[in-house]
């Protein structure tokens, strides 16, 4: 019991330390630069308490639930030895988690507005929503493909930097070809696709796979799936902008 | 009352986020792997913690920090604070400072980055520390976002910055310790998540609408891209620094050992 309480207090302390910088930055700029008092101090404190409690629970749940689950499934697939199922799982995980991602939905709606203003699509609601949906499908597909590619790379033990450089080359070429209005959105979409629940799972999957295959180094081979998942959407979104425009 | 409503909303949103993932995991576990989970109760409890924790976290941010951060981004980019016209990029000092500070602070609190750091520290046997990696990434985001605001202020094209960044990353890849490279690439993607994106995006859009002659659509986006490119460089730099220090320590030890040798 005492051990449990001790653990809980320590992880609460960790969360407070994690959040301290934000609180300090916001307070400093509010008081000394904007020179306005903090509005609604009570609400601010209540919110901060929620954030601390939430972060503590999240990290605890990560170690109890998500990490072991990702590990178990990685070992399970390695033991089963079926590459096809593993790749299908990777694709489903990438596609399924991205299509529902709220940040992506927001970016897609914004992009549809841009396209309508630029005259690439008809300025009607129907055209806009079909454009946004198409964009979301494109990004989700590209993340699914990225996870598949990442898993194949772990299985084969190929060095990651060739893929990244090829990806960068792709981004640069597409930048030259794509309509300028889509570029900012395309670059941003690479960053927003990887959500807080997906990242731990995909990381645990990659590292677990690298650990259960002989001759693979978990640090060298296990990481890198997230990198693919943030690179491919840029290329695909620019391609989408070109195809529609 | 007004605490409860965003809380319920956040739990519902998080559930919607988690349900497709849970369905995929469950399907493959039950029908493809066909193996019962080892610690069902513990795992389910852990997932429950993740959902509730994330919901509380988001509700708290939405309640307290996001509105304030957005207001602040607006206030700092407001002509009244910018003073005289705001015609030169030098007039925006506080904006760069705020961009760097908020980039650093939000990254330190980013749950996805905490997850990756825990895993990296576990796998590396403690060579990479949780805290060290997070600080390295946060410094990268701070530099990236500050440079990104400078780009919006000056109105220079986004893709030149990104392409120059790519060239630097490629050069660093040649020289950095091999083991850090995948992790460095990954840290670019994880930094920009639940905490960083809303605040940084608000800053970009606010700035693009405040600086005369900027287009919201052409210039308002792109800050996230800076925030996901620069950590790649700072994490490789962190590893290079560690390697350099280890090498120097070894050299010093060797020199001392030579000195101590009797003639």
B221 closest CB neighbour out of A184, A217, A224: A184
- Give percent of chain A above pLDDT 90: 28
Question: What secondary structure does DSSP assign to B57-100, as a single string?
Answer: HHHHIIIIIHHHHHHHHHHHTSHHHH-STT-SGGGGHHHHHHHH
Residues B44, A64: Cα–Cα separation, whole Å:
9
Mean pLDDT, rounded, of chain B: 84
CB A162 within 8 A of CB B181: no
Residues B235, B241: Cα–Cα separation, whole Å:
10
- The predicted pLDDT at position A109 comes to 82
Contact B102 A25 (CB under 8 A): yes
A195 closest CB neighbour out of B3, B17, B19: B17
B24 closest CB neighbour out of A26, A92, A194: A92
- The predicted pLDDT at position B87 comes to 62
Q: Is the pLDDT of residue B27 over 50?
A: yes
A169 or A99: whose pLDDT is higher?
A: A169
Radius of gyration of chain B (CA): 23
* Confidence category of residue B83, pLDDT binned at 50, 70, 90: low
Q: Which residues of B124-158 are buried (b: 16+ CB within 10 A; e: fewer)?
A: beeebebebbbbbbbbbbbbbbbbbbbbbbeeeeb
CB B188 within 8 A of CB A171: no
Of B142, B141, B153, nearest in space to B190 by CA: B141
Dihedral sign for Cα A114, A119, A125, A128, please: negative
**Please, which residues have CB within 8 angstroms of residue A13's CB and are 6 or more apart in sequence?**
none
Q: Is the pLDDT of residue B54 over 80?
A: yes
Query: If you measure CA to CA, which chain A residue comes closest to B37?
Result: A72
CB B85 within 8 A of CB B28: no
Q: Is the pLDDT of residue B58 over 70?
A: yes
Mean pLDDT, rounded, of chain A: 86
CB B103 within 8 A of CB B141: yes
Contact A191 B69 (CB under 8 A): no
CB A113 within 8 A of CB A238: no
Maximum average pLDDT range among A223-227, B186-190, B240-244: A223-227
CB B191 within 8 A of CB B141: yes
Question: What secondary structure does DSSP assign to A37-97, as a single string?
Answer: PPS-HHHHHHHHHHHHHHHHHHHHHIIIIIHHHHHHHHHHHHHH--HHHHHHHHHHHHHHH
B117-123: list long-range contacts, CB under 8 Å, 24+ apart: B118/A59, B118/A62, B118/A63, B118/A67, B119/A67, B119/A200, B119/A203, B119/A204, B119/A207, B120/A219, B120/A223, B120/B183, B123/A207, B123/A218, B123/A219, B123/A222
Q: Which residues of A touch B53 (CB under 8 A)?
A: 53-61
Q: Is the pLDDT of residue A157 over 80?
A: yes
H-only helix segments in chain A: 2-28, 41-61, 67-80, 83-99, 102-118, 125-156, 160-177, 180-192, 198-212, 225-244
Q: Which residues of A touch B35 (CB under 8 A)?
A: 76
CB A226 within 8 A of CB B182: no
B250 or B222: whose pLDDT is higher?
A: B250
Contact A25 B37 (CB under 8 A): no
* Digit-coded pLDDT (tens) for B155-172: 888 888 988 999 999 999
Residues B95, B89: Cα–Cα separation, whole Å:
10
- The predicted pLDDT at position B1 comes to 46
Q: Is the pLDDT of residue B5 over 80?
A: no
Q: Dihedral (C-alpha) A68, A72, A73, A79: value to the nearest 10 degrees? A: 160
Q: What is the ipTM of this complex?
A: 0.85
- The predicted pLDDT at position A206 comes to 92
- The predicted pLDDT at position A87 comes to 94
Q: Which residue has the tokens 């800050």?
A: B223
A54 closest CB neighbour out of B54, B189, B221: B54
Contact B111 A99 (CB under 8 A): no
**Angle at Cα B129 formed by Cα B124 and Cα B133, nearest 5°?**
105
* Digit-coded pLDDT (tens) for B105-147: 999 988 889 999 999 999 888 888 899 999 999 999 999 999 9
* Digit-coded pLDDT (tens) for A182-207: 887 888 787 777 778 788 888 999 99
Residues B194, A101: Cα–Cα separation, whole Å:
11
Radius of gyration of chain A (CA): 22
* Digit-coded pLDDT (tens) for A68-84: 888 888 888 888 888 99
Tokens at B212, concatenated:
């005369």
A196, A201, A204, A205, best to mutate vs chain B, most B CBs in 10 Å: A196
Longest dimension (CA), chain A: 66
B39 or A231: whose pLDDT is higher?
A: A231
Residue B183, min C-alpha distance to chain A (Å): 6
- The predicted pLDDT at position B262 comes to 62
* Digit-coded pLDDT (tens) for B168-207: 999 999 999 999 999 999 988 887 777 787 788 778 877 8
Q: Which residues of A touch B44 (CB under 8 A)?
A: 65
CB A118 within 8 A of CB A181: yes
* Digit-coded pLDDT (tens) for A5-58: 787 788 888 888 888 888 888 888 888 887 777 777 788 888 888 888 998 998
Dihedral sign for Cα B10, A24, B101, A17, please: negative
């Amino acid at each position: 019991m005492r051990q449990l309480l001790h653990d809980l207090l320590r992880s609460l302390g960790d969360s407070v330390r994690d959040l301290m910088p934000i609180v300090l930055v916001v307070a400093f700029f509010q008081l000394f630069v904007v020179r306005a008092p903090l509005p609604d101090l009570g609400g601010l404190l209540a919110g901060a308490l929620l954030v601390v409690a939430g972060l503590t629970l999240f990290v605890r749940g990560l170690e109890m639930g998500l990490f072991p689950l990702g590990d178990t499934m990685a070992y399970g697939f390695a033991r089963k030895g079926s590459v096809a199922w593993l790749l299908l799982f990777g694709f489903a995980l990438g596609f399924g988690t991205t299509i529902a991602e709220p940040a992506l939905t927001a970016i897609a709606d914004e992009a549809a507005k841009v396209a309508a203003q630029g005259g690439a699509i008809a300025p009607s609601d129907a055209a806009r929503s079909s454009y946004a949906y198409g964009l979301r499908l494109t990004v989700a597909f590209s993340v699914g493909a990225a996870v598949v590619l990442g898993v194949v790379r772990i299985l084969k033990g190929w060095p990651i930097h060739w893929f990244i450089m090829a990806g960068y080359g792709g981004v640069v070429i597409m930048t030259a070809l794509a309509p300028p209005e889509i570029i900012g959105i395309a670059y941003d979409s690479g960053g927003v696709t990887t959500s807080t629940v997906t990242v731990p799972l995909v990381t645990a999957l990659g590292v677990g796979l690298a650990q259960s295959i002989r001759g693979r180094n978990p640090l060298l081979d296990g990481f890198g799936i997230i990198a693919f998942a943030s690179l491919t959407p840029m290329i695909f979104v620019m391609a989408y902008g070109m195809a529609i425009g | 009352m007004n605490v409860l409503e965003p809380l319920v909303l956040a739990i519902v949103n998080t559930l919607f986020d988690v349900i497709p993932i849970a369905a995929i995991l469950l399907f493959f576990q039950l029908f493809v792997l066909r193996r019962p989970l080892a610690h069902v109760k513990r795992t389910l409890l852990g997932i429950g913690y993740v959902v509730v924790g994330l919901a509380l976290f988001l509700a708290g941010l939405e309640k307290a920090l996001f509105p304030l951060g957005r207001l602040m981004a607006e206030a700092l980019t407001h002509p009244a604070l910018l003073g005289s016209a705001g015609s030169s990029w030098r007039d925006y000092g506080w904006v760069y400072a705020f961009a760097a500070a908020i980039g650093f602070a939000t990254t330190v609190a980013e749950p996805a980055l905490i997850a990756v750091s825990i895993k990296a520290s576990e796998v590396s046997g403690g060579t990479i520390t949780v805290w060290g990696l997070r600080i390295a990434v946060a410094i990268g985001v701070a530099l990236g976002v500050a440079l990104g605001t400078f780009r919006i202020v000056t109105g220079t094209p986004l893709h030149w910055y990104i392409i120059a960044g790519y060239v630097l990353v490629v050069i660093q890849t040649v020289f950095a310790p091999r083991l850090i490279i995948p992790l460095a690439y990954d840290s670019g993607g994880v930094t920009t998540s639940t905490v960083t994106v809303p605040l940084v995006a608000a800053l970009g859009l606010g700035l693009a609408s405040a600086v005369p002659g900027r287009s919201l659509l052409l210039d308002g986006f792109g800050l996230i891209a800076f925030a996901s490119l620069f950590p790649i460089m700072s994490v490789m730099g962190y590893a290079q620094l560690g390697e350099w220090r280890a090498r120097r320590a070894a050299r010093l030890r060797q020199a001392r050992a030579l000195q101590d040798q009797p003639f």
